[in-house]
Chain A
């Protein structure tokens, strides 16, 4: 069964450094998402992306965050200057279309900011 893959599985970074999280969505999917989950808390939406542009973003997704689809397969989340509170599990998801279609999640990148 095709799956969403994310790298790295764990990233440890010093506060203030830039970090790039990578995702390869399922190949025929057109809609891409990033979510995060702080330890012990609920999963929160960050951003959705379609047709090479952001469709929607949450309040969490401030100017420190950006997303990109640099080629036909990768979808990246960049955090420019990391803060301690950015420590979380970051999940990439993709879906084939809108209209009640389920989103399929990658197994996540654990980001630890020191």
Chain B
């Protein structure tokens, strides 16, 4: 079983739509959780950390369910500029980042 699993997509949504991505992780001892964004052939960029209580940053909301080992990202009011690959990332007991393969989002006009 993969350590971090994501639906590769692509998710094709119109501007203004709400879209949600899910991610599951296999190690129950995982400690830190992040969503990174990666544009084509560019570096991963931190979108947001994910906290146990859930957290929001503008149009982006992240949720963590430790019992189900599940992380989600919700994007409201999608913009064309949101088109990218969204990477679910966890750490275990070290600072090594463990990446999922990513979910590709394409927002169309």
| Chain A residues packing against B (C-beta within 8 Å) | 31, 33, 35, 41-45, 48, 55-56, 58, 89, 91, 93, 95, 98, 100, 102-108, 110
Contacts and interface: CB of A to CB of B under 8 A. Distances in A.
A88 B98 CA distance: 17
Contact of B49 (A31, A58, A100): A100
Contacts of B102: 42
Interface of B: 31-32, 34, 38, 41-46, 49, 87, 94-102
A63 to B, nearest CB: 20
22 contacts: A33-B95, A33-B97, A43-B38, A43-B44, A43-B87, A45-B97, A48-B96, A55-B95, A56-B95, A91-B43, A98-B95, A100-B31, A100-B32, A102-B34, A102-B46, A102-B49, A103-B97, A104-B46, A106-B43, A107-B43, A108-B43, A110-B41
B94 A105 contact: no
B32 A45 contact: no
A107 B41 CA distance: 9
Nearest to A35: B97
